[in-house]
Amino acid sequence: MSNIPKDLQYTQSHEWIRRLGDGQVEVGITDHAQGALGDLVFVEVPEVGRLVKAGEGCAVVESVKAASDVYSPVNGKVTASNTELASRPELLNQDPYGAGWLMRVELDSSAKGAELLSAGDYANSLADAAG
Amino acid sequence: MGLKTPLYDTHVAQGAKIVDFGGWDMPLHYGSQIEEHHAVRRDAGMFDVSHMGVVDLSGSRVRDFLRQLLANDVARLKIHGKALYSCMLLPSGGVLDDLIVYYLGDSSYRMVVNAGTRAKDLAWIREHAAPFEVGVEERSDFAMIAVQGPRARDKVLALLPEELRAAASSLGAFVGGDFGSWFIARTGYTGEDGFEIMLPADEAAATWAGLHALGVAPAGLGARDTLRLEAGMSLYGNDLDEDHDPLESGLEWTVAFDPNRDFSGRAALEKARSSPGRRLVGLLLEDRGVLRSHQKVIADRQGAAAMLGEVTSGTFSPTLSRSIALARVPVGVGPRVQVDIRGKLHSATVVKPPFVRHGKPMIPPAQENS
């Protein structure tokens, strides 16, 4: 069973967000997502300063098996991205909710973000998909 | 639910991620495909290949039959147990399957065919064997374990009864033989030394456990694919199929065009050989990213963005830390091409496989990121 921390919020497309306070969030992909992808070999993170929209592709994670887009769960401006992943993509497999974070975003509160799930709802959606 | 090998429960107990492969439920990896790959290149790894088909052929005219059935010539096999790699062709020259055939005696051969093609292969073989009165017996009683890597043979030898060790250790490359109830061959699909063991299905789990206890790492189909691609070996269904002949599939070296032997597909190959067609080449990606099958290969000349062909197998090479591929392109293409990866063009260099052999890169590895 994959790890789903209670203090984060999730999307149906397997991203997580962590509220950092001061209108900032951290974004990554879930343990379930990294497990399904297998060993990651390339990660492309967004440039700092880029404006991202909810539902828009903001990063690419490529594993031995396949390349996948990561969709921004929120609207806002990228304030930091995890450049460590360029040389150490395996961090995303080893620690998807910590050292494997993808970007930090300063939220644009004027626009509506994607619908976010609680840990419990995300766990249920995984269970439904596994059916 | 797919077919299961005698080792299925073992894989599940060892935490394998199971996927469908040619109708079989097989292990993709046991945690990390890349670590399994490195285990085979640096030490020893083992693969469950029991899904492959073992077929015994017997009869006084079996040699004549195989000389007609296969594009390579079994008359080249003179030593008992010697193996030959060959394509089995349709009259069109298209590849029905690629296989290994062992010479076990003048009236006895053993063949190992791919899992996904097993049923059609057997139908084809039975149909063509009938006029030669050759017996065709599928050996579903066998499990098969491939143990590969620089230390693989030592590990297998350690499991054998002492009186069999010397003989097994002196098996030459591409030779197999009977050792008690096991058939052990010095063959593989990784570019490393090692053994492939055919053994009674009910001995498979204990043997797997014995090898594991000796430090042999279980490895899944994921690592098997990256290892074979680094070794420049073809995968049926990707690099080989019924729509392409062996000349277009990097396997001209396996076709024996000796005179006075007709084989299925020969006339079509003779015709194809006289005109320049397409060939399978190796590609080395110069940029970041991963080459994958069906990506388009495009000419590397300004104003001549002509579509040349496509990637037949592509992956990230754990040994080289960059992406490699096999691609089918017109003869003479290169030295550089462009590949369309997710809508963007990336430069690749045309190279001659293998990319890696016996643990050693055959081409320069990527520069470390600074």
Q: State the 10-residue block means of pLDDT for chain B, 370 residues long.
A: 95 96 95 97 98 98 98 96 98 98 97 96 98 97 98 97 96 96 97 98 98 98 98 97 96 94 96 89 94 92 72 97 95 90 93 94 64
Q: Which residues of A touch B290 (CB under 8 A)?
A: 41-42, 62, 64, 67
The dihedrals phi and psi of A41, each to the nearest 5 degrees, come to: -120, -25
B28, A67: Cβ pair inside 8 Å?
no
B290, A38: Cβ pair inside 8 Å?
no
B369, A64: Cβ pair inside 8 Å?
no
Going along chain B from its start, the domains and CATH numbers come out as 8-50+141-230 (3.30.1360.120), 276-370 (2.40.30.110)
Confidence band of A131 (pLDDT split at 50, 70, 90): low
Higher per-residue pLDDT: A1 or B175: B175
| End-to-end alpha carbon distance in chain B | 47
SS (H, E, C) chain B: CCECCCCHHHHHHCCCEEEEECCEEEEEECCCHHHHHHHHHHCCEEEECCCCEEEEEECCCHHHHHHHHECCCHHHCCCCCEEEEEEEECCCCCEEEEEEEEEEECCEEEEEECCCCHHHHHHHHHHHHHHHCCEEEECCCEEEEEEECCCHHHHHHHHCCHHHHHHHHCCCCCEEEEECCEEEECCCCCCCCEEEEEEEHHHHHHHHHHHHHCCCEECCHHHHHHHHHHCCCCCECCCECCCCCHHHHCCHHHCCCCCCCCCCCHHHHHHHHCCCCEEEEEEEECCCCCCCCCCEEEECCCCCCCEEEEEEEEEEECCCCEEEEEEEEECCCCCEEEEEECCEEEEEEEECCCCEECCEECCCCCCCCC
Q: Which residues of B touch A67 (CB under 8 A)?
A: 289-290, 292, 342
Distance of residue B117 Cα from the nearest chain A Cα, in angstroms = 23
Question: What is d(CA B348, CA B335) in angstroms, rounded to the nearest whole number?
Answer: 9
Say if residues B296 and B307 touch (Cβ distance below 8 Å). yes
Say if residues B149 and B192 touch (Cβ distance below 8 Å). yes
With vertex at residue B17, the alpha carbon angle to CA B12 and CA B22, rounded to the nearest 5 degrees, is 100
Residues with Cβ within 8 Å of B270's Cβ and at least 6 positions away in sequence, in order, are B257
A39, B32: Cβ pair inside 8 Å?
yes
Distance of residue A28 Cα from the nearest chain B Cα, in angstroms = 20
Q: Which residues of A touch B316 (CB under 8 A)?
A: 41-42, 62, 64
A42, B289: Cβ pair inside 8 Å?
yes
Distance of residue B291 Cα from the nearest chain A Cα, in angstroms = 10
Closest CA to A116 of A15, A6, A3: A15
Tell me which residue in A62, A87, A90 faces B290 most closely, judged by beta carbons. Answer: A62
Q: Which residues of A touch B292 (CB under 8 A)?
A: 66-67
Say if residues B281 and B351 touch (Cβ distance below 8 Å). yes
Distance of residue A19 Cα from the nearest chain B Cα, in angstroms = 31
Interface test with A, best of B288, B291, B315, B317 (most A CBs within 10 A): B288
A67, B290: Cβ pair inside 8 Å?
yes
pLDDT for A109 beyond 90: no
What are B310's two structure tokens?
Answer: 């496509």
Question: What is d(CA B110, CA B57) in angstroms, rounded to the nearest whole number?
Answer: 6
pTM: 0.92
Q: Report the chain B residue with the minimal C-alpha distance to residue A43.
A: B289
Q: What burial class does residue B306 get, using C-beta atoms within 10 Å of its C-beta: 0-12 exposed, 13-18 middle, 19+ buried?
A: exposed
Written as one letter, the residue type at A41 is V
Tell me which residue in A44, A64, A90 faces B316 most closely, judged by beta carbons. Answer: A64
Question: What is d(CA B307, CA A43) in angstroms, rounded to the nearest whole number?
Answer: 28
The DSSP letter of residue A24 is: E
B28, A38: Cβ pair inside 8 Å?
yes
Q: Which residues of A touch B226 (CB under 8 A)?
A: 64
Going along chain A from its start, the domains and CATH numbers come out as 9-121 (2.40.50.100)
Q: Which helix (H) or strand (E) holds A126?
A: helix A119-130
Q: Report the chain B residue with the minimal C-alpha distance to residue A36.
A: B17
Integer-rounded Cα radius of gyration of chain A: 14
Predicted local confidence at residue B304, as pLDDT: 55
Distance of residue A22 Cα from the nearest chain B Cα, in angstroms = 34
Tokens 């999730």 correspond to: A10
pLDDT for A1 beyond 70: no
Question: What is d(CA B122, CA B120) in angstroms, rounded to the nearest whole number?
Answer: 5
